[in-house]
Structure 1
Amino acid sequence: MASPPLPPPPVLPAVRPEVHLLTFGCRAQQADEEVLRAALVARGLTVLEGKKVEGAGIAVVHGCVVTARAERDARKAIRRLRREHPDLRIVVSGCHARLSGDAASRELGADLALPELGPEELATAIRERLVPSGLLPACAPSAEGGRRRVALRIQDGCDNSCAYCIVPAVRGKSRSVPVATVLEDIGRLAERGAPEVVLSGIQTAAWGRDLDPPSTLCDLLEKILALPRRPRIRISSVEPQYLTPRLIELVVGERGICPHLHVPLQSASPRLLAAMGRADVAPAIELLERAWARHGDLAVGFDVIAGLPTETEPEHQVTVDLVERLPLAYLHVFTFSARPGTPAATMLPSVPERFAVLRTRALLRSDERLRAAYRARILARGRAEVAVEHMGEDGFGRGTTERFLPAAVISHAVKPGALVRGRTDGIGADGALRVVPE
């Protein structure tokens, strides 16, 4: 599909070619940032690392609208950047720009809102509209950050119609990145030294269903595993209806794939799930319980939402009872946030805010217990593999284990980009698993 034509460029003063990137939201948003980062560098601009704003001429705010809080955070960031850095050129992109539009973004203090552009086209627009050639270096800077865990977008859009979710209206129908492109991107990231690639999307496990001929995420994983050189692979999330025995076997049985599944459960109540336009999760739970019976250390995390419209106290308790019974690694807990234009925004009866807050706190307490118990199980397991992403102030490598635990590699010899296997040696004061290299 041809890229949409760029809208007429506004007249803006030229600025320095250093860019500050600020991304909110899901793995798909982070994957877009990775592509944008590389595209900006390829066009001669410099992307500042971390949260550094000083020295930047341009800020790109890649905003999220999944929850009211995420949208509010993006708005606050735009206002703060304008207030604290009045000479900065602020560009708004991502789902926030798609939903809010140009006028609303400008009211917040942005100079440009480019909602319909993909990362490559966005980089071109920034380069052509804001940075004259005379300010670019003679040689393009090298891409930084290659030795980190990288989110790679393999899919976009969503075919679900969840009553509470605005994302399909913003991202459109599910669309898969062709397999050849995915394999090429993974090979490129391996050459850059990325220790881990997170396969990401809005509906990641729907990958391949729209291709001709149709394919599946399992097919893609097997092709990735056949590459002569590849980073460690992680799947960002798998909707319950896409969990299959074949996928679970790949996740727990292949060393090149992290034994970690993130599942957007949302609720354990069949009636509430049906009211929200979601399928029953019982089949997925049964598959996971069979997997745990054979692979007790499989890391599984759930998304859960407290206070969905029409949720009763007994239905909330059904969810609490389920997550307390299962050997989960963690929960991501959300309080229902009404998004204008979605069916759930006007669905009655709504849950009073005070009850939604109490239910959220109950799930957060469950999350604390689950995380502590899972850390103890992995510590007792005795071994872990860490993708080293950066060095801590103590000179030890910091990163993430294959089972999605933060870790410190107790060695001054490791460098970012390394995959380090070793024995577990306790939990640090910061909560990170301590791993001593073999």
Structure 2
Amino acid sequence: MSKEKDAGVSIDPGVEESARQRAIIRELRDEFTQKGWNKTYWITTLGCQMNARDSEKLSGILEEIGYRRSEAEESADLVIYNTCCVRENAEQKVYGRLGYLKNYKKRRPEMKIALCGCMMQENLVLEKLKKSYPQVDLIFGTHNLYKFPELLQAMLSSGERIIDIWKEHGEIVEDLPSNRKYSFKASVNVMFGCNNFCTYCIVPYVRGRERSRRPEEILKEISQLAQDGVKEVQLLGQNVNSYGKTLEHPISFAQLLQEISQIDGIERIRFMTSHPKDLSQDLIDAMATLPKVCPHFHLPLQSGSSRILEKMNRHYDQARYLDVVRRLREAVPDISLTTDIIVGFPGETDDDFEETVKVVRDVQFDSAFTFLYSKREGTPAAAMAEQVPEEEAKRHFDRLLDVLKEDIHAKNETWVGRTVLVLAEETSKHDEGMLTGRTPHNQLVHFQGDRALIGSVVPVKIVENQTFYFTGERIPSE
């Protein structure tokens, strides 16, 4: 890490920047108090769990300044869209909401609209926003999210549109406010960016190259979370297998898991995502030997065809993927495996698709996220010949869903009658008398229970398999 010298003292630029942004937060809080402002905010988060974690930071900053969460988007004084550009429908949703909010802003000109996240890093998107969406007051990207207090202050004081997009990342800035969704579980970034450059994916272009947080900062954050009552942490990175390689003193992700496992109070450790190309035996061994690490592994397949995997630039073939699955199951026999699969990648034939079905049948995944290929301008795949016709891709997609549903239902039948430990997370959206939570294997379980149980680990007997979730009966404590 680069250092700056001042009067013979080495100053970490990230620490210095954090202090500067916190000073701005205090200035804004004082201004809110002096002017008697009672402003509200609304944040809509699109995309991955990295974005969700970023939104927690934005919310924490706003609430420390003096904003409070609005009960409705339309009535908020500040509306923020934390955007995703992985799929086109997420972008279209943003444009649609901006058009919807335009009429509300006409009636309330004091409403402020801000956009951030991956979508802002695309040149074509940025130009479109500049020309066609004058109602947007603040635009910033993925590399300078930590500057949000400074950018917010500039917008409020000037009354002008503020656009601040960086093409590259700077220092990792720690220790800014955060407002977690849950008091008993939390997500923790361990690294940022991606070096893999899969031909269909725009993430490396908008999130930047890989850089890892220092292990001491991660351990400090998780220790504080444990003191605050957090029982479960999920470690986030585009490819956690690469963690530590960019550090001055490199360590492996498996070593990081060992360190985190020693923190008192933390009962469950999860992580995502892991790339099959560089999944180490050390990480598999850590899964097998560290009791706090949950027996769930998200291992994106994307395609079962070795030919398509090569076109995707995934750096593994079908045989290598299946070997990774074999080694995981040998080390952790009851491990839950989930995956991502793309259907309709350019050049995919019926035979290629059948290879994907073969792998799905062989592996017997516990769950899967399935996607129709989405053409993203700026990626190599967008310029490939043999774009698959939509009706053919949809035919394959529907068949894949049928196969997955059948296999997942059959596998989940083996859990009926068993007692599992469920971390109760919230009341059911459909029945306030029901609680919902997850097992160590990341299975979703609904069961009768009082709100007082939320945040507790509860023994529950699985009584019914609903394919993608279970219903259960709580086992009363003796």
Range of TM-score over shorter length: 0.7 to 0.9
Instruction: Please point out which of 411, 414, 421 is paired with 1:374.
Output: 411
Q: Does 1:422 align with 2:460?
A: yes
Residue 195 of structure 1 contacts residue 387 of structure 1 at CA under 8 Å; is this kept in 2?
no
In percent, how many aligned pairs have the same letter? 26
**302-311 vs 180-189, greater mean Cα deviation:** 180-189
TM-score scaled by length of structure 2? 0.80
Residue 200 of structure 1 contacts residue 235 of structure 1 at CA under 8 Å; is this kept in 2?
yes
Aligned to 1:404: 442
Residue 240 of structure 2 contacts residue 273 of structure 2 at CA under 8 Å; is this kept in 1?
yes
Aligned to 1:315: 352
Aligned to 2:93: 73
Instruction: Please point out which of 6, 15, 25 is paired with 2:47.
Output: 25
- Superimposed CA distance per residue, residues 130-162 of structure 1 (whole angstroms, 9 cap, x where no aligned partner): 389xxxxxxxx9956342543222111111121
Q: CA deviation at 1:35?
A: 2.4
Aligned to 2:121: 98
Aligned to 1:155: 191
**Alpha-carbon distance in structure 1 between the residues aligned to 2:75 and 2:387:** 47
Structure 1 gap segments, 5+ residues each: 7-13, 133-140
Residue 232 of structure 1 contacts residue 256 of structure 1 at CA under 8 Å; is this kept in 2?
yes
Q: Could you say if the C-alpha distance between residues 349 and 130 of structure 1 is closer, same or farther in structure 2, counting changes exceeding 3 Å?
A: same
Q: CA deviation at 1:397?
A: 2.7
TM-score scaled by length of structure 1? 0.86
Equivalences for residues 345-384 of structure 1 within 5 A: 345-380=382-417, 382-384=418-420
**Alpha-carbon distance in structure 2 between the residues aligned to 1:176 and 1:429:** 37
Residue 425 of structure 2 contacts residue 437 of structure 2 at CA under 8 Å; is this kept in 1?
yes
- Superimposed CA distance per residue, residues 72-100 of structure 1 (whole angstroms, 9 cap, x where no aligned partner): 22322333333456533111001011225
SS at 1:38's partner residue?
A: helix
Q: Could you say if the C-alpha distance between residues 435 and 250 of structure 1 is closer, same or farther in structure 2, counting changes exceeding 3 Å?
A: farther
Q: CA deviation at 1:387?
A: 2.1
- Superimposed CA distance per residue, residues 296-331 of structure 1 (whole angstroms, 9 cap, x where no aligned partner): 431111111111111121011101111022121111
Q: CA deviation at 1:234?
A: 0.8
Residue 56 of structure 2 contacts residue 179 of structure 2 at CA under 8 Å; is this kept in 1?
no
Q: Could you say if the C-alpha distance between residues 170 and 328 of structure 1 is closer, same or farther in structure 2, counting changes exceeding 3 Å?
A: same
Aligned to 1:285: 322
Q: CA deviation at 1:252?
A: 4.2
Q: Does 1:254 align with 2:278?
A: no
Residue 56 of structure 2 contacts residue 181 of structure 2 at CA under 8 Å; is this kept in 1?
no
Aligned to 1:45: 67
Structure 2 gap segments, 5+ residues each: 3-12, 22-34, 159-176
Q: CA deviation at 1:289?
A: 2.1
**Alpha-carbon distance in structure 1 between the residues aligned to 2:191 and 2:304:** 27
Q: CA deviation at 1:103?
A: 4.3
Considering Cα pairs closer than 8 Å and 6+ residues apart, tell me whether 1 or 2 has the greater RCO.
1
Aligned to 1:338: 375
Letter in 2 for 1:307: G
SS at 2:410's partner residue?
A: helix
Instruction: Please point out which of 224, 227, 233 is paired with 2:269.
Output: 233
Residue 302 of structure 2 contacts residue 342 of structure 2 at CA under 8 Å; is this kept in 1?
yes
Q: CA deviation at 1:222?
A: 0.5
Aligned to 1:111: 137
**Alpha-carbon distance in structure 1 between the residues aligned to 2:64 and 2:200:** 39
SS at 1:265's partner residue?
A: coil
Q: Could you say if the C-alpha distance between residues 327 and 228 of structure 1 is closer, same or farther in structure 2, counting changes exceeding 3 Å?
A: same
Larger Rg: 2
Residue 194 of structure 2 contacts residue 238 of structure 2 at CA under 8 Å; is this kept in 1?
yes
Residue 384 of structure 1 contacts residue 435 of structure 1 at CA under 8 Å; is this kept in 2?
no
**Alpha-carbon distance in structure 1 between the residues aligned to 2:112 and 2:251:** 43
